[in-house]
Amino acid sequence: MYFAQHFTRRYLLLVLLCLGVSVHSLSASADGELRADVPAATKGGEAADRVSVTATPDPAAMATPTAQVFAMVNGQLITSQEFNARYAKVIRDRFFHGRVPDDQAEIVRKEVADFLIDNVLLIEEAGRLGLKPDQARFEQTAAAMEARYGTLPEWQKEREQVLSQVKEQLGRQSLLEQVKKVLRDVPPPTPAEVRAYYQQNPQLFTEPEKLRLSIILLGVDPGAPKAEWDKAREDAQGIYLRAKGGSDFAELARQYSADSSAASGGDLGYVHGGVLPEKLQDNIGKLQVGEVTEPFTGLQGIALYRVDERVVPVLREFADVEQRAQGLLKRDQEEQAWKNAIARLRGNAKIEILASAVNDSAKQDDSAKQDDSAKQDDSKKKSSKKKNSKKKNSKKKSSGKVSG
């Protein structure tokens, strides 16, 4: 077991060395699987895409009780090792500090399980469809690796194993890309279907309400004392009463406003409904054209707004949005075709999920977090006790010296 894992680590370190990946980016799952991102064929000296290279312990090592089976999909194994590695990656990528909230853990586990099961089914479907891995991509990647690392002694020793692993991963990636494209492929929607989609989804083709607003801003620094903010509110209230009493709003803006629009009488132009702060939007929504809001406190100071014009929502003509409607409909049809394909593959498959494997991996993950947390707490407590003990001893010694 030790030899197999030791060789696996050495092998993947070699991959990292040959591909210029930082060694400290090497990661291992709880079951000993080692993973790293490997740049695929390059364009202009930079990686065009990345392939996950997985170094797995040899069959002898896999025969140990730690190599549990997570699921069987049409007779093909998915190990708990694969599940744990994927689960850890999703958590690491999605959640702050790599800690999944308790109410999200089960959702993530199901998502990971679906991903692994679907990939097995999709690879099988690729075979049924007669799809072949993109050999040209592998050859281009291999050539790039040879050109860059061909003179390294380590490369010469391990070349076949490294290229075999890269070929396998690139092949799987290529097949998944191809089969997804095939299963999502649908004919272009007919003109009648596009028009019906437009009529059934008017909200997608309606220009929202537009407002033309003017502003008077009494600028206040966010860090200013309360008295300064109170003075600005008092001044704004006075300006509000003058505007409401008939004074020219544009002239008041030129005289008092600190906004960049002051020179043009406070004119802000058109803004779409919904982009303003919710409270301000609610206030403005109650006003008629020509009316002014009461003083509103914002980040930059105290502001007054006047509604100069309202442009009601307008459903755009079909001829103006036909291309957009066609694109949106095709996207929806492709998504539905994909969902139907996955449902069909799952419906025809024999899927056996070993619940104990899922529970064990979850318990191991949660237990590890609890253990880490407990260890940190214990460490802090011990450190605190040591510090307190040192302080007490220091006081005793000091007290002894004084009394002496």
When pLDDT is averaged across residues 55-74 and rounded to a whole number, the result is 60
Q: Which residue has the tokens 């069909």?
A: 344
Question: What is the helix (H) or strand (E) element at residue 53, kind and residue range?
Answer: strand 50-55
Q: Which residue has the tokens 């049409």?
A: 74
List C-alpha distances in Å: 275 to 66, 102, 199, 268. 55, 34, 27, 13
Listed range (62-71, 217-226, 340-349) with the worst mean pLDDT:
62-71
CA distance 297 to 224: 14
| Residue partners of 281: CB distance under 8 A and separation at least 6 | 273, 274
pLDDT digits (tens, 9 = 90+) for 224-241: 999 999 999 999 999 999
Burial zone of 51 (CB within 10 Å; 0-12 exposed, 13-18 middle, 19+ buried): buried
The pLDDT value recorded for residue 401 is: 40
When pLDDT is averaged across residues 67-84 and rounded to a whole number, the result is 89
Q: Which residue has the tokens 């061909």?
A: 150
Do residues 300 and 217 lie in contact, with contact meaning Cβ atoms separated by under 8 Å? yes
CA distance 262 to 126: 65
Q: State the pLDDT confidence band at 130, using cuts at 50, 70 and 90.
A: very high
Q: Which domains does the chain have, with CATH numbers?
A: 2-184+354-365 (no CATH), 209-312 (3.10.50.40)
List C-alpha distances in Å: 190 to 14, 41, 182, 215, 336. 55, 39, 20, 49, 17
Per the model's pLDDT, the better-predicted residue between 94 and 60 turns out to be: 94
- State the number of CA atoms in the 13 A half-sphere of 179 facing the CB: 25
| Residue partners of 353: CB distance under 8 A and separation at least 6 | 70, 71, 113
Per the model's pLDDT, the better-predicted residue between 120 and 53 turns out to be: 120
Listed range (204-218, 230-244, 310-324, 383-397) with the worst mean pLDDT:
383-397
Q: Which percentage of the chain shows pLDDT scores above 90?
A: 56
pLDDT digits (tens, 9 = 90+) for 153-164: 888 899 999 999
Q: Model-level pTM?
A: 0.62
The pLDDT value recorded for residue 319 is: 97
CA distance 316 to 31: 58
Assess whether pLDDT exceeds 80 at residue 394: no
CA distance 26 to 55: 11
